[in-house]
Every structure is written in structure tokens, then in C-alpha cells.
Amino acid sequence: MYGVAVGRRVIYDERVVTRREWLTRSASGFGGVALAAMMGDDRARAADSSAANPLAVKPPHFQATAKSVIFLYMDGGPGQMDTFDPKPRLRAEHGQPIQLPELPTTVFNITDKVFGSPFEFSQHGDSGLWVSDLFPHVAECADDLCVVNSMVADHSEHTAANYFVHTGSGFQGNPSAGAWVTYGLGSECDNLPGFIVLDSGLIPPGGMDCFGSGFLPASYQGTLFRRGEHPIADIVPREPEPALQVGKLDLIRKLNRGVVQRLGSVSEIEATISNYELAFRMQSAVPELLDLTGETERTRAMYGLDEDDTSEFGRQCLLARRMVERGVRFIELLSPARKGQDRWDQHQRLAEGHRINARATDKPIAALLKDLKARGLLDSTLVYWGGEFGRTPTAQTNDGEFGPRTGRDHNPFGYTMWLAGGGVKGGIRHGATDEYGYFAVENKVHVHDLHATMLHLLGLDHKRLTYRYSGRDMRLTDVHGEIVHDILV
């Protein structure tokens, strides 16, 4: 192709284009030449391939122990002293004023009265990890769990806290951890998105921006699979004849490529082209993924697919395992909505609410861990569980006294999350809160540290995984984050 200047216009092969278009196209070409010179032909070709397929597999910074991530997100904030961090002092001083100099609170009707956990704790496995009776099935996996009792976060309000645990920032519009992971590594699955969110009935406060790509290219955002027979809109082909469907897609591809040729590389256009092509492949891959008829009765029973309390979250956990088998890079499961009890946010009726949520998730989560382990996938899959913060050791109640309506307020100052697989030590407890379970006092693990450690397990250096935006090299951990080496194998 050649261009001849004619006044303020340029003729390309007898087609008239504007000077602005010529400059745009030439600039893209000059950039390609410079890139080839700086990076070498092989790396230039790799860059071209990445632009054509943003989810193409990319090499890690160093050898990884994990290939995939499953985030079991317990929206609302489970109480650490009610789940994996027993505090006998709460029982001993139940109803008495707490012996602490200050009480940072976030909502309303908070008291200074100690609220002893309504749940019993016992030790499990060879490791002797303490687990609440809320989780009898997860307790059977105690020797695979790394329980971090010293998590800390920066926000006490749900929306900002949700953004923070998902994106490393309390502000809207930043890329989520799943987007960063797929940006850094791509995906080993050609027929499904690299980052999938499984909705069990509740989108957390903050909405879809919790799973967005932010300033990263749009191809890396999370794809929401909703409940029901058709989790993605228009996944069933509309054309009766496959050839007609392929013909339409070919035409769309040709038109889109023409726009790119005229205007140069545009993230949104490249993402649209890639999404059209992926959507076509998904029309056969998604129905096959969702078809559980090939699973054994033993597997169905293990996940609780035929039980009222566990059927929804059990199906999502089983789908997560199937996605890992197909090479999906990052999968997030959202808390289910059961019997009117939404989320783990029990400002009131904590005993009732936590039991409802635990019944819906305990058996499926244990099944997921056991199933991954039995199939040899747990070692290469990082599973982590938790909410956006924990809860206070003091009571929050509208009754004026303790009773069934008693709950707890938000607490980001010391709470619990656990990890399993993917290169993490099993059967250990890391860090500690004070005797009330209020503040982390030993081996604090900030959310930035959690993200840095997750990326490390995936073979990514969190300081090198950057994206230039608004004149600055941005990253998931901002300018923070330390790898928690003590929990790694």
C-alpha cells in the first residue's frame, strides 16, 4: 500500500482519506517499527499476538506454584470470633463493659458490652486448628487450611471495603484482582473468559465495579455468570444454521478490523472484536460446562446439589472446579441469598444469620477443597475465603439487652481469612488478634499483603505487574504490599 499527498488529503491506493487518518495510521506504523527495533522481532510478534488476543497465555515473572485462583467471597463480613478465631475471654466477660480504652465504631446502636460467641469451637485435624461448629464440613479440611487471624483493612463501610478487597483501592473505577491476574498471565482456556464471577444471588455493595477492568483494557474485566439455565444473555445461537451464524460473525469481524485499520489500535474496539469471537466459542463451551449430567451421584451428594440449603452454592462450587479443569484463570464465587438472610452482615440476629449462611456454604466449600485435592488440582489452585472485614467483639442491639436480636458492628482492625492450596502451607494459623478479637496484634497481614502474596504464588512480582495510566505506573498493591513468606510452602 502507498500514499500520495494531494493538498490536505492523502490517496491510499486511489482511496481518499483525511490527513488526520493518514497521520494516525502512519503513527501506528512508526510505533510498530520502533517496537520491533527495541524489543527484537520475536517480542514484537508476541506483542502483536497479545493485541490480537488479550487473553493469550503470557509467561510469569518466575516459576509459579499456582495456576488458578478461586475467591470464596463472604459478602458482609463474617465474625472472626464466631468462625476461626476463638476468644474465651468473650465468654468469660459476656455482658460486661469491654476493657479497652477506645471503641471505633461505624454504624449505630453499638454498645460497650462484650458479646460472647454463641457458637462452640473445637480443634480439628492433625494440626489441631480451631474451627467453629458453624463449619463441621470445612473442619474436615483443617490440615489444608492456612488461617490468617490477623487481617487488617482500611475501610469500615461496605462499598469502600468491597472495592478495597477486590481492587486494592477504596475508590471506584480501579481494576479488580481478577483483572490484574488475567492481564499479567492471560488464560489457558480458549473458549471461556479468563475471569469469571459466579452469582449465587447477591451482587455486593459497589456493584459490578468490584469485578471491572478499570483502566486496564476492557478484555480483562470479570464476566458474570448469573443463576439459572442461561447464565449469560444470548448464549444460545439465534440462527438455525451454523453457517449463517459464522457468516455474520465473519462480516462483523471484517467491519471491525476495517475500523482498526483506519483509526489504529483502540482498546474498546480490540476488546469488542475479541469478545465477539470469544462469545461465538462460548456458545458451545458454556452449555457443555453447565451440563452436570456426567458428574457422579457421589459428587452431586458431596456438593449438596439435591439439598435445599446447599443446592445453589454447591452448584457454583462444582462449576468452579470444572472451570479450573478447563484453564480459567480467576474465579470468584459470591455469597448466596438464602431464606431472606442476605449476606454475613449481621448487625442483628447474628446467631441466626451466621447459621443460615454457614449451612448454605460449609458443605459445598469442603466438597470443593476435597474434590480439587482428589483430582490433583489443589496444589496448583489457590483458594481463599473471607469478607471485606470482620466484626466487633461488642454487642450491637436494638433490644437494649442481649437476646436473639443481638448482632455485631463492622471491624476492619483485626479479622480472619483463610487460604488453601496453590503453594500455601496447610494446617497452620498465622497472626493473632487481642484477647477480645478486636485488633490484630501479631504478624498483621494487610489486604495489600494478601494481594502481593497471591500474585507471588502465581509467579508475578507485584512491583513489576504495572500499567501506565494517567502518567503513573499503576499496580494492584499501589505502593504497598509485602509477601507473607511465613505462610508459603
Identify the residue with better confidence: 17 or 354. Answer: 354
CA–CA dist 34, 38 (Å, integer): 6
Interhelix angle 311-325/267-290, nearest 10 degrees: 110
Provide the residue type at 426 as one letter. Answer: G
Question: pLDDT digits over 172-188, tens only?
Answer: 999 999 999 999 999 99
Q: What confidence tier does 329 reach under pLDDT thresholds 50, 70, 90?
A: very high
pLDDT of amino acid 481: 98
Mean predicted lDDT score pLDDT of the chain: 87
288 sits in which H/E element = helix 267-290
The position carrying cell 482519506 is: 17
CA–CA dist 487, 28 (Å, integer): 46
Give, in order, the Cα–Cα distances in Å from 321 to each of 36, 124, 292, 348, 442.
41, 25, 12, 34, 34
Q: Are 73 and 333 in contact (CB under 8 A)?
A: yes
Q: Is 122 left (phi over 0), alpha (psi -120 to 50) or beta?
A: beta
Predicted confidence (pLDDT) at residue 112 exceeds the cutoff of 70: yes
pLDDT of amino acid 252: 76
Nearest to 349 by CA among 409, 410, 411, 407: 407
CA–CA dist 431, 416 (Å, integer): 10
pLDDT of amino acid 32: 40
The position carrying cell 485462583 is: 69
Predicted confidence (pLDDT) at residue 39 exceeds the cutoff of 50: no
C-alpha cell at 420: 488453601
CA–CA dist 457, 323 (Å, integer): 19
Provide the residue type at 215 as one letter. Answer: F
Interval 425-442 mean pLDDT: 97
Every domain of the chain and the residues it spans: 3-50, 60-234+281-487
Question: pLDDT digits over 71-82, tens only?
Answer: 999 999 999 999
Predicted confidence (pLDDT) at residue 92 exceeds the cutoff of 70: yes
Q: How many residues does the chain have?
A: 489
Least confident of 86-100, 204-218, 232-246, 422-436: 232-246
Least confident of 130-134, 164-168, 226-230, 433-437: 226-230
Question: pLDDT digits over 196-213, tens only?
Answer: 999 988 899 999 999 999
Identify the residue with better confidence: 191 or 276. Answer: 191
Predicted confidence (pLDDT) at residue 134 exceeds the cutoff of 60: yes
pLDDT of amino acid 254: 82
| Most confident option among 24-28, 41-45, 336-340, 443-447 | 443-447
CA–CA dist 321, 331 (Å, integer): 10
Interval 230-257 mean pLDDT: 72
Question: What's the Rg (C-alpha) of the chain?
Answer: 25
Least confident of 37-51, 187-201, 206-220, 292-306: 37-51
Q: What confidence tier does 246 reach under pLDDT thresholds 50, 70, 90?
A: confident
Q: What percent of the chain has pLDDT over 90?
A: 68
Q: What confidence tier does 2 reach under pLDDT thresholds 50, 70, 90?
A: very low
Predicted confidence (pLDDT) at residue 328 exceeds the cutoff of 80: yes
Question: pLDDT digits over 452-477, tens only?
Answer: 999 999 999 999 999 999 999 999 99
Backbone angles phi, psi at 471, to 5 degrees: 80, 15
Residue 458, CB-side half-sphere exposure with 13 Å CA sphere: 31
Q: Are 417 and 137 in contact (CB under 8 A)?
A: no
According to DSSP, the β-strands at 415-420 and 381-386 are: antiparallel
Q: What angle do CA 144, 149, 150 make, to 5 degrees?
A: 135
pLDDT of amino acid 354: 96
Q: Is the dihedral of CA 22, 25, 31, 35 positive or negative?
A: negative
Interval 326-336 mean pLDDT: 95
Class of the CATH-defined domain 60-234+281-487: alpha beta
Q: Are 156 and 413 in contact (CB under 8 A)?
A: no
Q: What confidence tier does 250 reach under pLDDT thresholds 50, 70, 90?
A: confident
Least confident of 127-131, 181-185, 214-218: 214-218
CA–CA dist 133, 123 (Å, integer): 10
Predicted confidence (pLDDT) at residue 33 exceeds the cutoff of 50: no
Predicted confidence (pLDDT) at residue 99 exceeds the cutoff of 50: yes
Q: What confidence tier does 340 reach under pLDDT thresholds 50, 70, 90?
A: low
Q: What percent of the chain has pLDDT over 70?
A: 82
Q: What confidence tier does 36 reach under pLDDT thresholds 50, 70, 90?
A: very low
Predicted confidence (pLDDT) at residue 27 exceeds the cutoff of 70: no
pLDDT of amino acid 47: 44
